[in-house]
């Protein structure tokens, strides 16, 4: 996944229903050694900033809550 990808939200949250579509605008990390940003294998993970139609501010999601619809190349 990378900035510019079109994604579908696979987990409902307050104000954003399951199946909503958005655009990836950033990969947000909270420091190099944050333990909550590493998976069980020790791989570094990030939260993705998603711009949703109709919302003023981007929302952050984990990659497991997103499905790529159209990847930017």
pLDDT tens sequence across 19-54: 999 999 988 766 555 555 555 555 566 788 999 988
Q: Is the pLDDT of residue 7 over 90?
A: yes
Domain assignment present for 54: yes
The answer to whether residue 1 sits within a structural domain is: no
The total number of structural domains that make up the chain: 1
SS (H, E, C) 11-60: CCECCECCCCEEEEEEEECCCCCCHHHECCCCCECCEEEEEECCCCCCEE
Domain interval for residue 28: 6-70
pLDDT confidence of residue 64? 87
């Amino acid at each position: 996944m990378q900035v510019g990808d079109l994604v579908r939200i696979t987990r409902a949250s307050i104000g954003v229903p399951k199946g909503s579509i958005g655009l990836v605008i950033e990969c947000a990390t909270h420091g190099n050694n944050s333990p909550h940003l590493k998976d069980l294998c020790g791989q570094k993970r990030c939260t993705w900033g998603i711009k949703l139609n109709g919302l003023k501010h981007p929302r952050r999601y984990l990659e497991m809550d997103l499905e790529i619809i159209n990847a930017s190349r």
